[in-house]
Amino acid sequence: MVQSAVMIGAPVLGGVMIDWAGPRQIFASLGLVITLVGGLGMLLGRLLWPGEKEEERRAAASFSAGSQNDYK
């Protein structure tokens, strides 16, 4: 249901936005928004997606390094 509404509404909204502000302004604005969201994701990545602890990473790395030598 939601996907159907998006598939119908997105082109209509895009057309209205292009008529309202012009293609250059819309592409620049959306590019800026996407860049800001990506930059915030990179800056706040450790807060948003907490990773493994250092000990767990070291154990996983030593396990995978040892397993590569087992297959000859």
Mind listing the pLDDT tens digit for each residue in 1-58?
999 999 999 999 999 999 999 999 999 999 999 999 999 999 998 888 887 666 666 6
* H/E stretch holding 15: helix 2-21
44 in Cβ contact with 37 (< 8 Å)? no
Is the separation of the CB atoms in 18 and 26 below 8 Å?
yes
Which are the contacts of 48, defined by CB distance < 8 A and separation ≥ 6? Answer: 41
pLDDT, average across residues 54-66: 64
Query: Do 26 and 17 contact (CB within 8 A), yes or no?
Result: yes
Query: Which pTM does this prediction carry?
Result: 0.56
pLDDT at 12: 95
**Cα 33 → chain centroid:** 12
